[in-house]
C-alpha cells in the first residue's frame, strides 16, 4: 500500500522531528498531543529547523511553505483516524503507549498501519494489545530526526510481510536508511549505546574520572562526536534509565544493572538538557559539569 497520510502521537522532540521529515517528503501529517502549548511549540520548532535547512540550501523556501501547510495539529486522538500510518512517539512508558493504542482503535481504518517509536519496549507485546498485530511494527527514528540517517525497523512476532515492505518503502522515501532489528530489548542501537552510557556513569560514580575527563577521553580517544555523559543529557537521563531497566528486566543479566548514580540524578529531576541540569548545568551561558 502507498502511505500518503501520517498521524503522529506526541509533539515532543521526537514527534516534531518525525512530523518534519514526513511533511518535507510530501506526506499529509496530523500531529496530536494532549497539550495545545506542546503543539504550538512543535510547530515553531519545525519552522525553525526547516528554515535552517533553507538557509543552508538543502530545501527551497517553496518546499518549506508546502511542508508547513501539510501539518495539521489536534488535541483529539480520534482525528488521526483517517491516517494510513500512525506513529506513536509518546513518553517511554509502556502503560502510556498501550493506553494510546487502545484509545485509537475505535477510530482507525482497516488498512491503517500502527507503529511505535519506542527505543526499547517489546513490539510484540505492544502489538498484542491491538486488533491488528500483523499491521504493527517498531519504527524507531534517531534523535535529532531531521539529521540522523538511520531508522530501525522492528517486526513483532505477528508482523506480516506487506507491512514490513510498506514501512521499508516509507523509510526510503524519507531519504533515510532502514536497519532491520529483531524484537529483543532495546533492539540494536540502544542495546549497544545505552549500556556504554551506563558504564560511563559507573566510571563517574566510582571516581575513575570526572564528567569532563570522561567526556574528553571518549571524544579524543575514541573519536566520538559527543562524550557519553553529554550524550546522556541530550537523550534525557530518564530515557536512559528507562532503557536500562528494560534491558535489565528483559535479559536478566547483571551487566545491565542501572548505575545508582543515574537513578539518583533521575530522582532529583536532573534529567539533562530538557530540565537544564543533568551531568552538566545548562542554566548559564556555558554548560558546567555538576560533578
Q: Taken in order 92, 98, 104, 105, is the CA torsion positive or negative? A: positive
**Cβ proximity of 126 and 158 under 8 Å:** no
CB 142 within 8 A of CB 150: yes
276 is in an annotated binding site: no
Strands (E), the chain: 5-9, 28-32, 71-74, 85-88, 113-116, 136-141, 150-155, 177-181, 280-281, 288-289
| Ligand-binding site membership of 148 (annotated) | no
- Using an 8 Å Cβ cutoff, are 139 and 117 in contact? yes
| Distance between start and end Cα atoms, the chain | 52
13 assigned to a ligand binding site: yes
102 contacts 114 by C-beta, under 8 angstroms:
no
15 annotated ligand binder: yes
Cα–Cα distance measured from residue 20 to residue 5, given in angstroms and rounded to the nearest whole number: 14
* 12 in a known ligand binding site: yes
* Catalytic one of 32, 116, 120, 152: 152
Q: Is 11 annotated in some ligand binding site?
A: yes
| Pairwise CA distance, residues 279 & 273, whole Å | 9
275 marked as binding residue: no
Q: Is 119 assigned a catalytic role?
A: yes
Q: How open is the CA angle 286-272-261, to the nearest 5 degrees?
A: 115
The answer to whether the beta carbons of residues 180 and 205 sit under 8 Å apart is no
Q: Is 97 annotated as a binding residue?
A: yes
Cβ atoms < 10 Å from Cβ of 129: 15
Name the catalytic one among 32, 119, 120, 198. Answer: 119
User: Does residue 32 have a known ligand-binding role?
Assistant: no
Is 10 annotated as a binding-site member?
yes
143 is an annotated ligand-binding site residue: yes
Is 190 noted as a catalytic residue in this protein? yes
**Residue 62 known to bind ligand:** no
Active-site position among 32, 120, 122, 190? 190
List the catalytic residue out of 49, 117, 122, 140: 140
Q: Which three cell numbers stand for residue 235?
A: 537523550
What residues act catalytically?
A: 119, 140, 152, 190
Which residues are known binding-site members? 10-15, 33, 92, 97, 119, 143, 274
Which residues are known binding-site members for NAD(+)? 10-15, 33, 92, 97, 119, 143, 274
Amino acid at each position: 500500500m502507498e502511505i500518503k497520510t501520517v498521524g503522529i502521537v506526541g509533539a515532543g522532540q521526537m514527534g516534531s522531528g518525525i512530523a518534519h521529515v514526513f511533511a518535507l517528503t510530501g506526506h499529509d501529517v496530523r500531529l496530536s498531543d494532549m497539550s495545545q502549548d506542546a503543539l504550538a511549540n512543535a510547530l515553531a520548532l519545525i519552522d525553525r529547523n526547516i528554515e535552517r535547512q533553507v538557509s543552508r540550501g538543502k530545501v527551497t523556501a517553496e518546499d518549506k511553505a508546502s511542508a508547513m501547510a501539510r501539518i495539521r495539529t489536534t488535541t483529539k486522538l480520534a482525528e488521526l483516524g483517517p491516517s494510513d500510518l500512525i506513529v506513536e512517539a509518546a513518553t517511554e512508558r509502556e502503560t502510556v503507549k498501550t493506553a494510546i493504542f487502545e484509545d485509537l482503535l475505535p477510530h482507525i481504518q482497516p488498512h491503517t498501519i500502527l507503529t511505535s517509536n519506542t527505543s526499547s519496549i517489546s513490539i510484540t507485546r505492544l502489538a498484542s494489545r491491538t486488533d491488528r498485530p500483523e499491521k504493527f511494527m517498531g519504527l524507531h527514528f534517531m534523535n535529532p530526526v531531521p539529521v540522523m540517517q538511520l531508522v530501525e525497523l522492528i517486526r513483532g512476532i505477528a508482523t506480516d510481510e506487506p507491512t514490513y515492505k510498506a514501512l521499508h518503502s516509507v523509510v526510503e522515501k524519507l531519504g533515510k536508511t532502514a536497519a532491520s532489528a529483531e524484537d529483543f530489548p532495546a533492539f540494536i542501537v540502544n542495546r549497544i549505546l545505552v549500556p556504554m552510557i551506563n558504564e560511563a556513569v559507573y566510571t563517574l560514580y566510582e571516581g575513575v574520572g570526572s564528567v569532563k575527563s570522561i567526556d574528553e577521553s571518549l571524544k579524543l580517544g575514541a573519536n566520538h562526536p559527543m562524550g557519553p555523559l553529554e550524550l546522556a543529557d541530550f537523550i534525557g537521563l530518564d530515557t536512559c534509565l528507562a532503557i536500562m531497566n528494560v534491558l535489565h528486566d528483559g535479559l536478566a543479566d547483571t551487566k545491565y544493572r542501572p548505575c545508582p548514580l543515574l537513578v539518583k540524578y533521575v530522582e532529583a529531576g536532573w534529567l539533562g538538557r530538557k530540565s537544564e541540569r543533568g551531568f552538566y548545568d545548562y542554566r548559564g551561558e556555558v554548560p558546567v559539569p555538576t560533578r
